[in-house]
Amino acid sequence: MNHPLCDVTDFSIVGPYALRVAFDDGVEQIVNLEPVLYGEMFGPLRELQLFNQVYLDQEVRTLVWPNGADFDPWTLHEWPRFAEALSMRAQAWETA
């Protein structure tokens, strides 16, 4: 996928499965990840105790979870644009 590069610079948990994410270009997004938490990698994050262990990886400059799950920073940056399609794709993983 060809897209601009950006880095996550900060985040906070603002609700169950919801994060406020700040980027190096000044953009901030509220990202509700609940609709995409399906499948082998992301499904375990439905356990809030694991979800809330999210951290900012200083090397790759994106959000990462202890089980290795992560999201491309650009996907988080453009969340309003991608959320619906990602949700439909993730739910298909659950039924496959």
Q: Enter the tokens of residue 76.
A: 């988080």
Residue 1 lies in a domain: no
Residue 26 lies in a domain: yes
Higher pLDDT, 55 or 86: 55
| CATH code, domain with 85 | 3.30.2020.10
Residue 37 lies in a domain: yes
Residue 3 lies in a domain: no
Residue 29 lies in a domain: yes
Whole-number Å distance between alpha carbons of 64 and 71: 7
Higher pLDDT, 13 or 86: 13
- Report percent pLDDT > 70 for the chain: 95
How does pLDDT run across 3-49, given as a tens digit for each residue? 778 999 999 999 999 999 999 999 999 999 999 999 899 999 999 99
Q: How many domains does the chain have?
A: 1
The boundaries of the domain holding residue 49 are 8-95
Model confidence at 61, in pLDDT bands (50, 70, 90)? very high
What are residue 76's DSSP bridge partners?
none
Total-model pTM:
0.88
Residue 2 lies in a domain: no
